């Protein structure tokens, strides 16, 4: 049932299936991309046509040999020019009655198509639930994880910026200390050297 549901859902939206993707890559020809459609009405009409085509294929695949509700419904569609509904139904039934269709078979086959629709809907909605889990809820969890990671990175960046600020201040203080020490050393060394030179001259002068 799960694989059937995935097949059903894949007719309408993309469903993760690696095997199916590989098969599609081999069997389906490359198609040119369609130009974007700008109106919601056009999109809604395309969606309606997509579902209508799907259920037409569903009924066609389930149709058994011989006339039944499927042929009856198709004949009613073909007789759309007959405006009176009662006349249209009667004419369609009369056309198929000659091929062996009776009212009981018409009603029983219609009930069978109802069962087919119910089974198809059950498989579809089961797969929709899984698709919601895979494509929505899990993606939300992934998004939350990314946001949490961003928050952690932001905190790390703030911490690193604070470290940079502290290091910048420390560097400035160290530069000032080194410059002060260097200036103090040069001044003291100059004084000591000058005193030595002066003493040398005094020794030469005063001591014979």
Token pair in block for residue 101: 């269709």
**Closest CA relative to residue 124, chosen from 9, 1, 3:** 9
How far apart CA 154 and CA 141 sit, in angstroms, is: 20
Contact 62, 118 (CB under 8 A): no
88 alpha-carbon distance from chain centroid:
48
Signed CA dihedral, 141, 142, 145, 146: sign only = negative
The helix/strand/coil state of 197 is helix
How far apart CA 96 and CA 78 sit, in angstroms, is: 13
Task: Give the CA distances from residue 49 to residues 35, 158, 177, in Å, rounded to whole numbers and listed in that order.
Answer: 18, 55, 82
pLDDT at 27: 45
Task: Give the CA distances from residue 45 to residues 38, 50, 136, 164, 168, in Å, rounded to whole numbers and listed in that order.
Answer: 13, 9, 25, 60, 65
Residue 87: half-sphere exposure toward Cβ, Cα within 13 Å: 6
How far apart CA 157 and CA 147 sit, in angstroms, is: 15
**pLDDT exceeding 90 applies to what percent of the chain?**
54
Could you read off the pLDDT tens digit of each residue along the chain, which spans 208 residues? 444 545 555 555 555 554 444 455 444 444 444 444 555 656 666 666 788 888 888 888 888 888 999 999 999 999 999 999 999 999 999 999 999 999 999 999 999 999 999 998 888 888 888 877 877 888 888 999 999 999 999 999 999 999 999 999 999 999 999 999 999 999 999 999 999 999 999 999 999 8
pLDDT at 3: 47
pLDDT at 139: 85
The helix/strand/coil state of 78 is helix
């Amino acid at each position: 049932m799960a694989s059937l549901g995935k097949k059903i859902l894949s007719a309408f939206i993309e469903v993760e299936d690696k095997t199916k993707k590989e098969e599609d890559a081999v069997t389906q020809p490359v198609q040119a991309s369609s130009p974007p459609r700008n109106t919601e009405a056009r999109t809604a009409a395309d969606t309606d046509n997509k579902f209508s085509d799907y259920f037409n294929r569903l009924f066609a695949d389930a149709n058994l040999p011989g006339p039944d509700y499927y042929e009856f419904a198709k004949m009613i569609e073909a007789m759309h020019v007959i405006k009176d509904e009662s006349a249209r139904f009667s004419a369609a039934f009369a056309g198929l009655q000659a091929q062996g269709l009776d009212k009981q078979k018409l009603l029983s086959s219609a009930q069978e198509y109802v069962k087919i629709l119910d089974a198809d809907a059950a498989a579809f909605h089961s797969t929709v639930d899984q698709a919601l889990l895979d494509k929505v809820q899990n993606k939300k969890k992934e998004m939350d994880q990314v946001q949490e990671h961003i928050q952690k990175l932001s905190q790390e960046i703030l911490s690193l910026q604070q470290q940079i600020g502290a290091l910048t201040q420390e560097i400035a203080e160290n530069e000032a200390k080194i410059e002060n020490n260097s200036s103090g050393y040069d001044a003291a060394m100059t004084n000591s050297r000058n005193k030595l030179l002066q003493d040398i001259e005094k020794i030469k002068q005063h001591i014979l």
